[in-house]
Structure 1
Amino acid sequence: MNNFFLGIHYFLSGFRLIAKPGVRRFVIIPVSLNIVFFIGLFLVLRHFASELNGWIFTHLPGFLRWLSIIFWLLFFISFFLVLIYFFVMMANIISAPFNGLLAEKVEIYLTGQVLVKRSMLETIKDVPRMIGRQLAVLIYSLPRLLLLLILFFIPVIQLVAALLWFIFSAWLMAMTYTDYPSDNHRVSFRQLRDWLRQRRLLALGFGMSVLMVSMIPVLNFFVIPVAVAGATNLWIFQHKRG
């Protein structure tokens, strides 16, 4: 369990790291994109909440209205977990080039070593590859998430499905954010997955922290840069340990 809590520690270290000199200015774009996406998430959630409320009062007889509490609980857990994952993934795909640069600056701050210098043209040429890496995470996750999504439509199993979705989403969050520092070192996506499998509790501790903070208003605006910085910290020091 020590590794699980160490994963939480690495995520929380991201709050400190994004405020450091040489790092701060690279946080602005990821935070701005995150604000836009979480406002979108709120609007979508509010729309579907209103639709669900209307459905309950239309279809449930009066003496069963108390069941609306259970429906709301299932809705909040299931729908919010599904939406938050896809909104965060979309935000990461769009902000991938900026997140890669942020990971690089955090690594320079932590190690004092400058990565191989690249010209602006080389950096621009790298953008499709950076976005492609995040798409690879999405392609890896979609078949597994669709399988879990089916479980949400099976009575009773819904709550178990929500738990499984949360655990798998945590795993994907760890994979998503450690991808930035590992990609800066040209580590393949397959190698990264194998590396994380050897550190499952560490990855789950980190990923669950990302998901939990994503549910906290205002703090969730900073979750992407914080997670990138924390994942870079995790990658550097765990990779050194071998």
Structure 2
Amino acid sequence: MITGLFKGFGYVFTGLSLITQKGIRPFVLVPLLINIVLFSGGIWLASSQLEYWMNRLLPSWLSWLEWLLWPVFAVLIFFVIFYVFSIVANLIAAPFNSVLAERVEARLNGLPVPEFAGYKSLSGLIARTFKSEASKLWYMGKWFILLLILTVIPGVNVISPVAWTLFGAWMLAIEYADYPMGNHELFFKEELAALKKNRPEALGFGWLLSLLTVVPILNFLAMPVGVAGGTALWVNKLSKNA
């Protein structure tokens, strides 16, 4: 388990290395710009709403523990807001991320990078990626509601930051592994089964990537790093179980 988690961490660093390589960099530009715009909005929203939600989520009878719980809930609030913005960013950038995943996989497999057919070819990806994103949102929504209920129950909500962290790590692994797997016409059910067989690596990858999303400046790179790292995870591990 521990070994798998550390291997999962490594895919984030692999993704960071891949997006800087010649032949890959041009396909990072659009996802990067989308991430910069939306995460800038997320930073503003998280900063402006932090105190309000802290007062709502922290039960009055635990006010004497505020000095200890405040950092925990602050991390939770920032994490939820940034994760929601990550979903929106990935929905908008999905076709571009699929193209980036194709280029990265060609590089990892040692294949020559094919001539890019132009962004007009993205039209064929839109229906496929929309269906995949809809399946992910339905899966996420069921767990999101359960965790939201957990978060608003006084006393019980003390453990919610841990639950949200695990949930976020798992969903980010699903999100970014979906691009290379979708390029191979795998459906969400098949993708989920492959990830479950490699759960430690998936959680390690998603957890470190979730940390990247809350680090100023570095969070702008989270999307292209996630796509490239998720593609490396697919090539090295998931493709053997798909």
TM-score range, shorter chain: 0.7 to 0.9
Q: In structure 2, what is the equivalent of residue 11 of structure 1?
A: 12
Q: In structure 2, what is the equivalent of residue 224 of structure 1?
A: 223
Q: In structure 2, what is the equivalent of residue 22 of structure 1?
A: 23
Asked if structure 2 preserves the Cα contact closer than 8 Å seen for 1:93 and 1:135, the reply is: no
Q: In structure 2, what is the equivalent of residue 108 of structure 1?
A: 106
Matched residue of 1:22: which SS? coil
Asked if structure 1 preserves the Cα contact closer than 8 Å seen for 2:19 and 2:25, the reply is: yes
Asked if structure 2 preserves the Cα contact closer than 8 Å seen for 1:78 and 1:152, the reply is: no
TM-score, structure 2 normalization: 0.88
Q: In structure 2, what is the equivalent of residue 193 of structure 1?
A: 192
Q: CA deviation at 1:238?
A: 1.2
Q: In structure 2, what is the equivalent of residue 91 of structure 1?
A: 89
CA distance in 1, matches of 2:67, 2:4: 37
CA distance in 2, matches of 1:214, 1:115: 29
1:30-179, aligned counterparts within 5 Å?
A: 30-51=31-52, 69-70=67-68, 72-113=70-111, 123-179=122-178
Q: How far does the alpha carbon of each residue in 1:45-97 deviate from its partner, in whole angstroms, 9 at most, with x for none?
A: 122125458x69xxx9xxx9876535633531332222121111111111000
Larger Rg: 1
Q: Structure 1 stretches (4+) deviating beyond 2 angstroms?
A: 49-53, 64-75, 112-123, 239-242
Greater shift in the superposed pair: 105-114 or 220-229: 105-114
* Percent of paired sites with the same residue: 34
Number of residue pairs matched?
A: 235
Q: How far does the alpha carbon of each residue in 1:114-149 deviate from its partner, in whole angstroms, 9 at most, with x for none?
A: 699996655313212212212211111101111111
Consecutive unaligned residues in structure 1, runs of 5 or more = none
Matched residue of 1:147: which SS? helix
Matched residue of 2:153: which SS? coil
Asked if structure 2 preserves the Cα contact closer than 8 Å seen for 1:94 and 1:131, the reply is: no
TM-score, structure 1 normalization: 0.88
Matched residue of 1:152: which SS? helix
CA distance in 2, matches of 1:138, 1:164: 18
Consecutive unaligned residues in structure 2, runs of 5 or more = none
